[in-house]
Amino acid sequence: MSTETITHDSVTRLVEAGAIRAAQVVGQPGGWGVIFKYGTLERPLAAQRGNVRVFRRFEAIVAYLRDMGIVHFEVDAADYDPHAPASARSESNAERARAQMKAAHEAAAYDKWFRAEITAAIAEADDPATQKVAHEVVAEALQAGDAAALRALAGRATSKPAAKTRRKARA
């Protein structure tokens, strides 16, 4: 087959214009391709990424051609092998699909974990028994770079700004 392909949209326009002079279904390992003949050119049908499109089932390619308005075509089954994989391309597609499914499952698992963490944090914040530390106290300890005060704040709660009290005492 030729290395240059033709897109579905181009074939549709050529069929509507009556420019397709022939179509030939060609058997390949694992499937069927189609070559469209128009003018002096012959081009195989392109898949989405520009490779030659391979139909796994003969019925699928027949239905495709009928839907396009092409009801007479030649069939070359010389190279057709129903037991061969369609191509290395289909294996890479399957590999890519597995990778996408794995990524989707990982994203779903992360989303589930994240939502559980948020739910637990909200429940803890709403619990009246939870001891709270004022924002100003933490902010001052962070600005001062006082690691000991931050460790102490993590272990206990306070309602009055201890850092301000220390600062006033020093002054």
Can you tell me which residue has the tokens 């089954």? 77
Calpha distance 118→112 (Å, rounded): 10
pTM comes to: 0.49
Q: Exposed (0-12), middle (13-18) or buried (19+): which is 44, by Cβ within 10 Å?
A: buried
pLDDT, position 90: 53
Tokens for 114? 């994240």
Buried b (16+ CB within 10 A) or exposed e, 1-11: eeeebbeeeeb
Can you tell me which residue has the tokens 């559980």? 116
pLDDT, position 91: 56
Tokens for 48? 């989405």
Write out the chain's pLDDT in tens, 171 residues.
Answer: 446 899 999 999 999 999 999 999 999 888 899 999 998 999 999 887 778 898 989 999 999 999 999 999 999 998 888 777 655 455 566 677 777 788 888 888 898 999 999 999 999 889 998 888 888 989 998 999 889 988 888 876 544 444 444 444 444
R_g of the chain computed on alpha carbons: 34
Count the neighbouring beta carbons within 10 Å of the beta carbon of residue 76: 14
